[in-house]
Structure 1
Amino acid sequence: MQLLDERIRSLLQRHWRQTLTYWSVFFSFGLCLAFLGPTVLDLRCQTQSSLQQITWVFFSQQLFLLLGSSIGGLFQKTLLSSLSALFFCTFIISLVFAIIPLCYDVILLSVAMALAGQAMGVIDTIANVELVKLYQKDAAIFMQALHCFIGLGALVSPLVADPFLAEDSCILEANWTANTSSPSDLDHLRSSLVGQRAELHNMSQYPLHTKGVVVTRVSYAFWIMALINLPVPAAVLALMNHERLLPWSHKSPRLLNREAPPGLDPLGQGHRGVFSCCHPAELRGRPATYFVIHALGGAILFLTDGIIGAYAGFIYTYAVSPPLLIGRKTAGCLNSVFWASITAGRLASIYLSYRFPTAVLLTASLVGVTLVHCLLLIFYTSNVFLFIGTCVLGLCISSVSPSMLAFTEDVLNYQGCATSVLVTSAGTGEMMLQLLVGSVIHSQGTYPFLLCCTVSSFMGSFLFLVFLYTERVHRKQLTESLQGTAMAGKPTSGS
């Protein structure tokens, strides 16, 4: 049995350079996404800031990632502008890695992370859009692989950082004695600080000093990550040279000025930024279902990516709190289990996307996410089931984002602003649901954490049912419109 049929193999052979380049920029995205959690305490020492001050760096990155996603579509007018944006953004990520060790003030560090977040957001939108434009109806398979590279980058980043993290205090007081925080206390803090600010009032028992001699070696980790990331902008530059888009390239016709399929702008001008989607010229003449599909697709990714962000950010806090009271070291593995299962799920989805329709894959994934959350609520006192449920949840939710992007673009015939809207909605959900869940945990305790995720999964599943109904109505309207146009174009026979 062949793994891929001849048509898909032919497409991959034709576009392998572009495909590998877009996959590599998502590796760069993942590399930048995952380093902050493990290194945040060493960065606190480097900047000699308080825990409250350093956590603003998380907010800076997330806010500008969202802004970058919103404006990323503006670079889609030509292949030159989109590849140029990818080159500069991936180079900026290497540059940020290189200058982070020189940021001795928390404000400078926040500015650096804002630049990295902006670059990540632009990469997120452009890579998704370009891959959809290349493969169109076959995009789901390659989108799963694209999003898998985020997991690979997120896996490499903590592994590089780990040998250079401080095992004890990284600030020595004036009398050259270390503070009283033990290595286990620091591990607990690192796990608790993954994407949240709501529990800082519970961390005052750890004497983290801000004055003294800084003895951290984390700078080497960032310089190594800068070197690891450098081949990515080089790969983008090589693709630009191959497509003859650079000033010193040959003057022969550009390779990617290929013929576009009916209904698709060859330069991708339908894929503009979120704000340009609201332009009256863009909205004129669209059926109501066109807007409803955008809104529903965005809402589904708002909820599902929000679940990923909230679960990754708070599962450790939930595990070490009553009634589970799992040990700190064991609970620290939960986040790794969750992200590893997401990466494994996306690898498996490459094959599943080839074998099953995207709508079937999405239905199974969302039903699985909802059932797992219900079981986690029922067996909320079971330590073993928390690990099993975390693993299964990662497998189920892994394919939702890439599948939803490919499915929505297919429904809308690859014209309009679907990818920009959906990527921006996903980033917004990831940030907002973390804030919501953090506020609930702060006021009500940890059990409502699972309740919030369960309610979000039910809402996402319900909205997907509405999406499927709207999609059917939309296709019917398009069919009727095409039939009406064909009838109007037929010459009438004279008597």
Structure 2
Amino acid sequence: MVNVWLNELWSWSAQRRQKKKRANSNELNINVMNQDILSSETEPLSKIDIGNVLMQALHFFFGFGCILGPLLAEPFLKHSYIGSEGFFANCLVLPYTIASSTAVISSITFFLLFVFYPYDQPKSNSSEIDSDEVQIISSNSDDVDSSRNSSSLYYLLIFSCSVFLFVFLGSEGTYFQFSASFATKTKLNLSEPNAAFLASSLAISFTAFRAFSVLIALKLTPDLMILLDLFSVVIGNTLVYFFADRNLVLFVIGIILLGAGFASVFPSFFPFLERNGFEVTDMIGSVLTFSGGLAEVLAPFIIGLYIDNKPYVLVYFTFASVTLSFIVLALLNILIWKYFRSPGSAALFRGFNGQSS
């Protein structure tokens, strides 16, 4: 968790977006490992609930690091270049030393976790599927068709999950990048410092509600948390739409609700899949993380082309994204229900995910 501090200590460089995508991938890999460790010690339902709490906590510390990192580096980055040894010591050596120290602490922490909870990554071995199940699946043409249908449902599930993360994280990324720019273009005529304060409200709300989500995860299922987040985004974006030009207080409340809605969808999504019986392996997790990362690159680029002349494109895009998110989420529940009722799904599921019989 400490490792996420490193990302924002380097946020002054052009590599910030690349490092953020790498951090998201690390979080996902840690979640997959946590789920496997817990599976041998807890009942399935308890395991999934604990996994949700762990993911919420992991993402809270990521957000906490995003705030703390620049605060640690800022005192050493104030001075302009003066060609002295003091410049290199204060503006280069010390910030990079802090960054490398957090990386070392993170590595040691992760090593100790591995020592106390040894982890052997499951390896795919389709030959381990029960011969009886293979015979049942291939015994006649109807069963073969069922197997093919299950395979199609499986890949459609992965595609739908990718679309959900692509759409939602694209909206999240655009709001974080352009909320300040949008605020300066409303009829309230906010100054740049006030617009920056508004953007900070979004980030603070985002991080605070990630901490709150750790407690919520103890009581609510990931499914319900995702729905509440989506409704929060709808309400917040609606307030921004109606009051960004008229009422500063309601405008800020809308931004805060948006931060709350964006906070726990990503960390809740993977426990949501596992809770419904769909195992998130490293391969599947990589596909989903790539989809989300791609959206955080493409969506801001596209919105950035229009934000100056048509600032409300940010609001319209968010409405479209959250509407599509609701539709895809409903489709996901239907696909999961159909997939696990399919006759050939059990053997296929083990074959694709590397489980033994």
TM-score interval, smaller chain: 0.7 to 0.9
Match for residue 137 of structure 2?
Answer: none
| Contact 1:320–1:331 under 8 Å retained in 2 | yes
Match for residue 423 of structure 1?
Answer: 289
Match for residue 103 of structure 2?
Answer: 229
Structure 1, residues 315-344: CA drift from partner, whole Å, max 9, x if none?
Answer: 111112242321222222233322222222
Selected match of 2:48 from 119, 137, 149: 137
Structure 1, residues 237-259: CA drift from partner, whole Å, max 9, x if none?
Answer: 3334446xxxxxxxxxxx556xx
Selected match of 1:399 from 248, 264, 268: 264
Structure of larger gyration radius: 1
Q: CA separation in 2, counterparts of 1:453 and 1:134?
A: 37
Q: 1:415 to 1:36 in 2, by over 3 A?
A: closer
Q: CA separation in 2, counterparts of 1:65 and 1:477?
A: 38
Q: CA separation in 1, counterparts of 2:27 and 2:305?
A: 28
Is residue 313 of structure 1 aligned with residue 186 of structure 2?
no
Q: 1:256 to 1:164 in 2, by over 3 A?
A: closer
Match for residue 62 of structure 1?
Answer: 17
**Structure 1 position 473, deviation (Å):** 2.0
**Structure 1 position 412, deviation (Å):** 4.4
Letter in 2 for 1:32: L
Q: 1:32 to 1:137 in 2, by over 3 A?
A: same
Q: 1:453 to 1:238 in 2, by over 3 A?
A: same
What's the Cα RMSD here?
Answer: 3.0
Q: Provide structure 2 residue ranges, at least 5 long, that are not aligned to the other structure.
A: 39-46, 125-146, 347-357
Q: 1:446 to 1:314 in 2, by over 3 A?
A: same
| Contact 2:7–2:19 under 8 Å retained in 1 | no
Q: CA separation in 1, counterparts of 2:345 and 2:325?
A: 31
Letter in 1 for 2:290: T
Q: Provide structure 1 residue ranges, at least 5 long, that are not aligned to the other structure.
A: 1-23, 41-56, 67-116, 177-213, 244-254, 258-266, 271-283, 483-495
Letter in 2 for 1:424: F
* TM-score, with length taken from structure 1: 0.56
Q: CA separation in 2, counterparts of 1:268 and 1:413?
A: 15
Q: Which structure dedicates a bigger proportion of its chain to helix? A: 2
Q: 1:384 to 1:127 in 2, by over 3 A?
A: same
Q: Give aligned pairs, total.
A: 310
Q: 1:423 to 1:412 in 2, by over 3 A?
A: farther
Match for residue 369 of structure 1?
Answer: 233
Q: CA separation in 2, counterparts of 1:335 and 1:304?
A: 19
| Contact 2:76–2:95 under 8 Å retained in 1 | yes
Is residue 445 of structure 1 aligned with residue 299 of structure 2?
no
Q: Mapping of 1:97-246 within 5 angstroms?
A: 117=22, 120=23, 122-135=25-38, 136-138=47-49, 139-166=51-78, 170=80, 217-219=90-92, 220-242=94-116
Match for residue 269 of structure 1?
Answer: 123
Which secondary structure does the structure 2 equivalent of 1:460 belong to?
A: helix
Selected match of 1:410 from 275, 278, 286: 275
Q: 1:269 to 1:412 in 2, by over 3 A?
A: farther
Equivalent pairs: percent with the same residue? 20
Q: 1:399 to 1:227 in 2, by over 3 A?
A: same
**Structure 1 position 364, deviation (Å):** 1.7
Is residue 432 of structure 1 aligned with residue 298 of structure 2?
yes
**Structure 1 position 363, deviation (Å):** 1.4
Q: CA separation in 2, counterparts of 1:471 and 1:237?
A: 36
Structure 1, residues 94-141: CA drift from partner, whole Å, max 9, x if none?
Answer: xxxxxxxxxxxxxxxxxxxxxxx5xx3652342132123234523212
**Structure 1 position 424, deviation (Å):** 1.7
Q: CA separation in 2, counterparts of 1:467 and 1:320?
A: 38
Moved more, 425-434 or 221-230: 221-230
Q: 1:352 to 1:316 in 2, by over 3 A?
A: same
Structure 1, residues 126-178: CA drift from partner, whole Å, max 9, x if none?
Answer: 213212323452321211111111012112101112223337xx357xxx9xx
